[in-house]
Amino acid sequence: MTKNEIKYYSSLLKKKFREEEHKFLAEGIKIIREGLSANNWRSQCKNVFVSHIFTEEHQEFMEELKNYSIIPVIISQQELLKISDTVTPQGITAVFNMPAAKDISHRHLSNGLTVALENINDPGNLGTIIRNCDWFGIKNILLSRGCADIYNPKTIRSCMGSLFHVNIFNDVSFKDIFRDLRKSGISILCADLNGEDIFKYKLTTPSVIVFANEANGPSENILSLTDKVITIKKLGDAESLNVASASAVILAELTKAF
């Protein structure tokens, strides 16, 4: 790689340049395989960089790349480190185009359950919640403007490839969309410390469940638009649950109705 190429690809580790170039980096064999196997993402993969050691240790995956008509670029370990966010990279990094922003349609949200995230600013938590949604079959996720960047390398790693399986709507104005959804018969639920026991709540209508920043809780704006506040009953002495952990418990219970 030339110095300019290294400079260009390493710049994608920063949000400013990702947004300017509409590209992001994905590291690791599992995550990249998930992206390539997703029909609507496969064509968005622009480059795959691998180390010499990777080509020797993962010959089967190198053959897989041929099936996707991808010719990987073999670079040195030192070059790979410069375009990697991890201290010990797996030896493979891919460049994906960001998809065009999607418009929210009521038809997207009129069946089953939708997840909305308010000010989830930790990339690890955001990625884990996206992964939880994927596990429980949630296809549509709404993010407020205060959420972490879904293309942050830590978010990508925490998603473990689930980013490629769901529809994510960024920078959503909850105030506007929730009012419209309620008029169309979709319930707005919100997870908070004080609310109805989730294990006693029955999901009967298409709904949106809001998970908020665990330090501050849901905003007054969200609570004013909420039809029902639900909680996980506390049995021990812990002050709170991590929001990603709480999302797994609540989604497991709510999706029983599916």
pLDDT tier at 103 (50, 70, 90 boundaries)? Answer: confident
pLDDT of residue 108: 64
Output the pTM of the full model.
Answer: 0.94
* Phi, psi at 137, each rounded to 5°: 80, 20
Nearest to 1 by CA among 50, 38, 34, 69: 50
Mean pLDDT for 76-89 is 91
Q: What distance in Å separates the CA atoms of residue 157 and residue 182, rounded to the nearest whole number?
A: 35
Nearest to 212 by CA among 142, 151, 137: 142
Q: Who's near 43: CB < 8 A, 6+ residues apart? A: none
Mean pLDDT for 2-29 is 96
Mind listing the pLDDT tens digit for each residue in 40-60? Answer: 898 999 999 999 999 999 999
Mean pLDDT for 209-230 is 94
The chain-wide mean pLDDT, for the chain, equals: 93
Whether the per-residue pLDDT at 25 is higher than 90: the answer is yes
